Amino acid sequence: MSAAPHTTIRRVGVVGGGQMGTGIAEVCARAGLDTVVCEADATAARAARERMAVSLERAVQRGKLDRISAEDALTRTVFTGSLDDLADRHLVIEAIVENTEAKTDVFAALDKIVEDEEAILATNTSAIPVMRLGMATRRADRVLGLHFFNPVPVLPLVEVVASLHTAPAAVATVEAFVTGTLAKTVVRSQDRAGFVVNALLIPYLLSAVRMTESGFATAADVDAGMELGCAHPMGPLKLADLIGLDTVASIAQSLYDEFKEPLYAPPALLLRMVEAGLLGRKTGRGFHTYDRD
């Protein structure tokens, strides 16, 4: 029987310094945790630090965080280009591109690098079954899904996903960490593609894409209809742009691969936009156009 996971998580690592990764690192650092963010190389690590600094400054300007706390959070976070710097972590959260092979490679590497046998390895995947990633390690009982939502510093929900191998003690430890240390709300999900939120959300977004693709309504009218007619804070195509159209397409494909339901199949228009690099807010153009930050 394996040892029980840490009851107290104080040292956290995040693999991936994109929007999600830096958001996760930010909430950990703001909670007073020793935080390390690992990117592909030193240049990407510097870009991740700048991304987090901009987010913290935005929180200060909006009155959500005082400047001293923001400076402390940034000082508390180390940005690196080497996975070896995660060796002493209690919890490592993978938040790289939504690609099974890439994520599997990261978990196989972390399994060799993270020294503490009690450490927990988590994935922020939106749709890839946790079991596939856990089986790339020798510690599948300490691998689970920890799915945050964008923007991480703002949205209060985290999905906790246990595979068939995940030890109940690991789940309990992570739930206590998320609700206690990070002050977020947990929902549990079975280890199925899409989990709870995306299994409900993605068909809705794809339906909006198909409506626009068919010429039934413009993107602006689809979004206005749901915002003004259903009191949604953001229309489905604006939301897809915020998530990233490449990410939406990847999640849809994962759902379709698992369930073979037509409503999960990514529409041709979505695939063409991804091929064209029209990915939404992060590229300045998707179903709508945006000013680049």
Whether the CA torsion 74, 282, 149, 143 is positive or negative: it is negative
Dihedral over Cα of 177, 178, 184, 190: its sign: negative
Q: State the CATH class of domain 11-189.
A: alpha beta
Query: pLDDT band at 43, cuts 50/70/90?
Result: very high
pLDDT, averaged across the chain: 95
CA distance 44 to 289: 26
Instruction: Encode pLDDT of 116-167 as tens digits.
Output: 999 999 999 988 899 999 999 999 999 999 999 989 999 999 999 999 999 9
Q: Which of 124, 126, 189, 254 is catalytic?
A: 126
pLDDT at residue number 126: 86
Sign of the CA dihedral running 147, 149, 154, 158: negative
Q: What is the mean pLDDT of the segment spanning 181-206?
A: 96
Question: Which band of pLDDT confidence, cut at 50, 70 and 90, is reported for residue 3?
Answer: very low
Contact 209, 237 (CB under 8 A): yes
The pLDDT value given to residue 293: 59
pLDDT number for residue 7: 57
Catalytic-residue membership of 198:
yes
Sheet containing 157-162: order of strands: 77-80, 34-38, 11-15, 91-94, 120-123, 143-148, 157-162, 185-189
pLDDT at 4 over 90: no
Return the pLDDT at 125. 93
Q: Sorting pLDDT into bands at 50, 70 and 90, what band is 1?
A: very low
Helix 67-76 / helix 19-30 crossing angle, nearest 10 deg: 110
Catalytic residue among 6, 26, 94, 147: 147
Tell me the two tokens of residue 230. 């259903």
The hierarchical CATH code for the domain 198-283 is: 1.10.1040.10
Counting Cα atoms < 13 Å in the Cβ hemisphere of 230 gives: 10
Task: Return the structure tokens found at 237.
Answer: 């195509």
Angle of helix 197-213 relative to helix 245-259, nearest 10 degrees, comes to: 110
For residue 15, give the nearest of 132, 148, 150, 107 by alpha carbon: 107
Please say if 147 is a catalytic residue.
yes
* Residue 115: count of CB within 10 angstroms of its CB: 10
pLDDT in tens, 50-104: 999 999 999 999 999 999 999 999 999 999 999 999 999 999 999 999 889 999 9
Q: Which regions of the chain carry the CATH code 1.10.1040.10?
A: 198-283
For residue 158, give the nearest of 139, 177, 140, 142 by alpha carbon. Answer: 177
Give dist(CA 123, CA 107) in Å, integer.
9
Residue 161 tokens, joined: 């996903």
Which among 39, 55, 159, 189 is annotated as catalytic? 159
Cα separation, 167 vs 58, in Å, equals 39
The single-letter DSSP state of residue 33 is -
Asked if the model's pLDDT at residue 5 lies above 70, the reply is no
Question: How far is 103 from 36, CA to CA, in rounded Å?
Answer: 18
For residue range 229-288, what is the model confidence (pLDDT) as tens digits? Answer: 999 999 999 999 999 999 999 999 999 999 999 999 999 999 999 999 999 999 999 999
What is the distance between the alpha carbons of residues 76 and 228, in angstroms, rounded to a whole number? Answer: 42
According to CATH, where is 3.40.50.720 located in the chain? 11-189
Residue 126 appears among annotated catalytic residues:
yes
Active-site residue, selected from the candidate residues 189, 198, 250, 254: 198
Dihedral sign for Cα atoms in the order 140, 94, 157, 240: negative
Burial class (CB in 10 A: 0-12, 13-18, 19+), 25: buried
User: What pLDDT was estimated at residue 8?
Assistant: 82
User: Among this protein's residues, is 99 annotated catalytic?
Assistant: no
For the beta carbon of residue 75, count every other beta carbon within 10 angstroms. 9
Distance between CA atoms of residues 33 and 20, nearest Å: 17
